[in-house]
């Protein structure tokens, strides 16, 4: 136990000269913030600095996400070696039930990106560990709230029209991966804790080790021991908990500045923290459910096999690109929250502008690549000529979606970094569910445009959402946002006046 006062750790300006990226000649900092851009040279210098900061955070996070995606993919692959029914059951369990809880818990943990990022920028380093512990408590509570979804997966899947044989096996597998869901209550808060301090390299290494370890474990359980789907579930649980515990050990042993031990402050003002967490979860889940609803609508068309198959192939391609932008989303959230906490309005503004431009360029290049290979890329997924032609007809919709989805995650990251989750949740609700889905339903069914009509509705909803959020960012007064961040830190950071009793 330690009740001695702790000295505030030294703060390093985000613009401090580094060996790899020295401060360019002529770039004068005003109180640590960027000066107004006066020339092309100023713009170029700031572009280089922000690009290096962005990708130093985004690349390890994106790699970690790709590794996690690989764990899911290899679980499906090994299930496919057991049998077709097992493959379908595991795929449904992971893509429907587990993905639902994954998105909800990830959204709740995103509240830490706002508070930890701004607290780190404001120098309230001791509060990072308190926020993380508070998030553990809230996420464990959320896991118990989600538990009925896992326990009653079989009747829910049958209610949605799934075949009994697949639904029964999927329900069994879902119950077997309950431990994986609870691991996320440790995984996500520690992940956001590290991201807020730009300590993201360790996440990449842990993700890689977990991915390689998962392949070895699931091979042993499924192929060598022949434990079937039970073996796949146990391997999935073990890999998830190894990731969570590895991150936890790193935080406790290697993050002395942010981690000051267990604290009773974690139980203070849980309701206020829960409200912010729920707003973050709703903002993210409204996006995840939107794309799930598109698949559901497509499945009720006249030729559902071709419609769902072609749309799924396109969404799979879009998903791989999307993982990169999830990394960028986390990076811009860290950059904005840190700079607002530091009190650097221009740095926050310039980081947003540069990230949006770079993400848009990536989206445009991706769209051009899809259009150039529109008659070819479906061969990766299917040998059916009819399916390949159906995918080719959707290629231009996929290209447009990839461009829109290159900007949208960046704006969502800005929203999380600035603490605008509730506002973005309302925008998502209106654009997706009042405009996008009804328009897609009308065009797809009443206008007989099929999957193309449904996708047009989806694009219109996403486009409207992007325009609204871009306008909000354009009208944002970053000086005011700095004041809001300062007020938020005064509100939450005031807790540090309460005596701290920690376990080191």
347-363 mean pLDDT: 88
Count how many residues are written for the chain: 504
Quickly state the pLDDT bin for 129 (edges 50, 70, 90).
confident
Range name among 237-241, 301-305, 342-346, 498-502 with the lowest pLDDT average: 498-502
401-460 pLDDT, tens digit per residue, is 888 888 877 877 777 666 676 777 788 888 888 888 888 888 887 777 777 788 888 889
154-165 pLDDT, tens digit per residue, is 998 888 767 788
The predicted pLDDT at position 206 comes to 93
The predicted pLDDT at position 443 comes to 86
CB 98 within 8 A of CB 180: yes
Please, which residues have CB within 8 angstroms of residue 52's CB and are 6 or more apart in sequence?
20, 21
65-94 pLDDT, tens digit per residue, is 888 878 887 887 788 778 777 877 787 788
The predicted pLDDT at position 240 comes to 93
What are the CA-CA distances from residue 192 to residues 248, 266, 468 (Å)?
12, 16, 27
387-405 pLDDT, tens digit per residue, is 778 888 888 888 888 888 8
Please give the residue that has the higher pLDDT: either 302 or 109: 109
Examine the pLDDT at 23 and tell me if it is beyond 80: no
The predicted pLDDT at position 238 comes to 95
Among positive and negative, which fits the CA dihedral 441, 442, 445, 451? negative
Q: What is the DSSP string of 11-59?
A: ---TT---SSSPPPTT---BTTBPPPP-SHHHHHHHHHHHHHHHHHHHH
Examine the pLDDT at 10 and tell me if it is beyond 50: no
Quickly state the pLDDT bin for 5 (edges 50, 70, 90).
very low
Range name among 3-12, 210-219, 235-244 with the lowest pLDDT average: 3-12
Examine the pLDDT at 187 and tell me if it is beyond 60: yes
The predicted pLDDT at position 215 comes to 93
Average pLDDT, the chain: 77
What percent of the chain lies above the pLDDT cut of 70?
A: 78
């Amino acid at each position: 136990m330690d009740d001695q006062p702790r000295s505030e750790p030294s703060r390093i300006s985000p613009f401090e000269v580094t060996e790899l990226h020295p401060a360019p000649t002529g770039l004068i900092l005003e109180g640590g913030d960027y000066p107004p851009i006066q020339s092309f040279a100023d713009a170029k210098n700031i572009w280089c600095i922000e690009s290096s900061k962005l990708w130093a955070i985004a690349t390890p996070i994106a790699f970690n996400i790709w590794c996690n995606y690989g764990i899911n993919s290899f679980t499906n692959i090994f299930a496919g070696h057991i049998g077709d029914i097992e493959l379908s059951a595991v795929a449904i369990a992971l893509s429907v039930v587990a993905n639902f809880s994954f998105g909800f818990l990830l959204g709740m943990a995103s509240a830490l990106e706002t508070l930890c990022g701004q607290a780190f920028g404001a120098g309230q380093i001791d509060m990072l560990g308190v926020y993380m512990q508070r998030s553990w408590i809230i996420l464990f509570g959320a896991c118990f709230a989600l538990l009925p979804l896992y326990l009653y997966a079989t009747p829910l899947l049958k209610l949605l029209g799934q075949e009994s044989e697949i639904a029964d096996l999927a329900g069994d597998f879902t119950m077997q991966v309950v431990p994986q869901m609870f691991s996320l209550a440790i995984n996500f808060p520690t992940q956001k804790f590290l991201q807020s301090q730009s300590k993201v390299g360790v996440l990449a290494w842990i993700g890689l080790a977990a991915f390689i370890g998962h392949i070895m474990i699931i091979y042993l359980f499924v192929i060598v021991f022949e434990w079937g789907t039970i073996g796949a579930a146990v391997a999935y649980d073990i890999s998830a908990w190894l990731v969570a515990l590895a991150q936890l050990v790193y935080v406790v042993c290697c993050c002395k500045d942010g981690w000051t031990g267990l604290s009773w402050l974690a139980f203070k003002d849980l309701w206020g923290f829960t409200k912010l967490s729920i707003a973050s979860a709703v903002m993210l889940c409204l996006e995840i459910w939107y794309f799930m609803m598109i698949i559901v609508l497509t499945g009720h068309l006249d030729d559902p096999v071709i419609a769902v198959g072609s749309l799924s192939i396109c969404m799979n391609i879009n998903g791989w690109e999307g993982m990169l932008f999830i990394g960028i989303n986390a990076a811009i959230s860290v950059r904005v929250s840190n700079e607002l906490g530091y009190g650097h309005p221009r740095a926050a503004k310039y980081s947003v502008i540069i990230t949006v431009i770079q993400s848009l360029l990536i989206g445009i290049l991706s769209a051009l690549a899809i259009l150039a290979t529109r008659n070819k890329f479906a061969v990766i997924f299917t040998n059916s000529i009819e399916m390949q032609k159906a995918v080719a007809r959707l290629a231009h919709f996929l290209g447009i979606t990839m461009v829109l989805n290159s900007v949208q995650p960046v704006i969502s990251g800005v929203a999380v970094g600035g603490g605008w989750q509730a506002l973005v949740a309302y925008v998502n609700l209106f654009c997706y569910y009042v405009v996008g889905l009804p328009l897609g339903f009308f065009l797809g069914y009443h206008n007989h445009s099929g999957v193309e009509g449904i996708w047009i509705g989806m694009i219109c909803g996403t486009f409207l959402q992007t325009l609204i959020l871009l306008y909000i960012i354009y009208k944002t007064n970053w000086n005011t946002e700095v004041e809001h961040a300062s007020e938020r830190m005064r509100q939450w950071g005031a807790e540090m006046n309460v005596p701290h009793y920690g376990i080191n």
